[in-house]
Amino acid sequence: MREFFDEGVLLHSATARKYYEEVKDLPIVDYHSHLSEKEIAEDRKFNTITELWLSADHYKWRAMRSCGIGEKWITGDAGDEEKFYAYASVMPKLLGNPLYYWTHFELKKLFGIAEPLNERTARAIYKEANEKLKSLSVRTLLKQFNVEYIATTNDPIEQLEFHGSYDGIKVCPTFRPDKALRLESAYLEKLGSAARREIRTLGDWKEALTERLKYFVTKGCTIADTSVEESVRTDVTETEAEELFAKGEDRTPAEKSRFYSYGMKFLGGLFAEYGIVWQLHVGALRNINTTAHRAIGCDAGYDVMQGNIDTDGIAVFLDSLYKIGKLPKTLLYSLNRNAVPALCTIAPCFPNVRMGAAWWFNDTLKGILAHLETLAEYSVLGISPGMLTDSRSFSSYCRFDFFRRILCDYVAKKTEAGEYDAESANALLKDICYRNPKIFMNL
């Protein structure tokens, strides 16, 4: 029997281990995260492992709720030590769950702890990790993972005063205009204030978003991100959009959807004009537990994958932009794995569109492997932009190691079977793990 989480975990052959040695220390380009640029700038330190692990990680919260842990020990007022013990108590139940892998990779990488976390070991691990945290901070963690670039996620109204370069780590904003598409009066007032203009008309709205994007670009922004949670229509005219805008918050759900479609087409053209890479995250159904949403708020573990995704509509939408020369570089993501084959066939139809990483609920052992296989079979694996964190936790960079191990094992199986040549394998792995995201993201 092999040792628990030894260096060869997830690497099932000598070839896989050899490939992994070639890429494991490559710099990390994290082109989609929800990390706090303020905490990077201030080089935050953590008093406890609970602060580092459990303060904002909805993956862990969902697992704890599933195992019957009460909200007091998740987002409630229990102490840090109690919360950590509660998390430790569910760990033995998580066989096959990515949290089991991530947790133990993090314990080993960050704290040098190579034993399983459970109720028996929790007290000693809590004490040892907290002692080692005294010499760690956000930036020492990032340097330990060899992070080179971080794209945070930012609303157009944000002032971006904490973005910049810190200890050789470039931290840049991502333009996330989802709230601007809803036309809520309170938000429009904030947007107007940030853009230093009153927003009374559709033209004012477009000018405000343009001004804010230009400001983001001065802060190093090369990426935008939009959550696509409904079908995008391509037949909304400027005149109709002006009428819909004038209705304000009196619009019906159908009218809100029509304006959303117009706004998406406007944003596509805007991003193309300014050379921005557009990430389209498709298929999230938000805050399905309305009681919990009212009590805890957004991003608390109550988002799920949509059952049906209109990939036909996405194809038509991309074409509507491309034929008028306004389709920016675009990355496609799907929360529902069933839509990935269709999106993989759509992407090659446009020279500046790629399939993104296995996103969110799909960044599991089998999910990543299935994503790689689908990319290889329906699109082109060698142009994949690799991995991202999509996380609010600074310890989550172990997800890159998780991904690199799975990727190396997949490629090794192909070379060992005589289905792929070893010389090409080395270049392909380095492209996916490092070079591709830098090139595609204009970095």
Strands (E), 239-361: 277-282, 284-285, 304-305, 330-334, 353-355
Enumerate residues 6+ apart whose C-beta is below 8 A from 8. 2, 17
Ordered DSSP codes for 108-121: HHHH---S--STTT
> What percent of the chain stands above pLDDT 70?
100
Tell me what the mean pLDDT of segment 152-174 comes to: 98
Give CATH superfamily name and number for 47-136: uronate isomerase, domain 2, chain A (1.10.2020.10)
Residue 140's contacts (CB-CB under 8 Å, 6 or more residues apart) are none
pLDDT band at 166 (very low <50, low <70, confident <90, very high): very high
pLDDT in tens, 39-92: 999 999 999 999 999 999 999 999 999 999 999 999 999 999 999 999 999 999
Between 346 and 249, the higher pLDDT residue: 346
Coil, strand or helix at 284: strand
Q: Which pLDDT score, from 0 to 100, does residue 1 have?
A: 81
Residues 6+ apart with CB under 8 A from 103: 91, 117
Instruction: Give the pLDDT confidence of 277-327 residue by residue, as tens digits.
Output: 999 999 999 999 999 999 999 999 999 999 999 999 999 999 999 999 999
- Do residues 249 and 183 lie in contact, with contact meaning Cβ atoms separated by under 8 Å? yes
Q: Over the stretch 204-233, which tens digit does the pLDDT of each residue have?
A: 999 999 999 999 999 999 999 999 989 999
Q: Are 276 and 221 in contact (CB under 8 A)?
A: yes
Model confidence at 124: pLDDT above 90: yes
Q: What is the mean pLDDT of residues 252-257?
A: 96
pLDDT on residue 248: 84
Report the predicted TM-score, pTM, of the whole model to 2 decimal places.
Answer: 0.97
Asked whether 52 and 45 are in contact (CB, 8 A), the reply is no
Whether the predicted pLDDT of 12 surpasses 90: yes
* pLDDT of 371: 98
- pLDDT for 354 equals 98
CATH 3.20.20.140 is held by the domain 14-46+138-440? yes
What are the C-alpha distances in Å from 242 to residues 189, 248, 314, 425, 442?
18, 10, 24, 53, 34
What does the DSSP 8-state code read for residue 300? S
Ordered by start, the domain boundaries in the chain are 14-46+138-440, 47-136
pLDDT at 2 over 90: no
Q: Are 11 and 408 in contact (CB under 8 A)?
A: yes
Q: What is the pLDDT of residue 27?
A: 98
Token pair for 375 = 């990319």
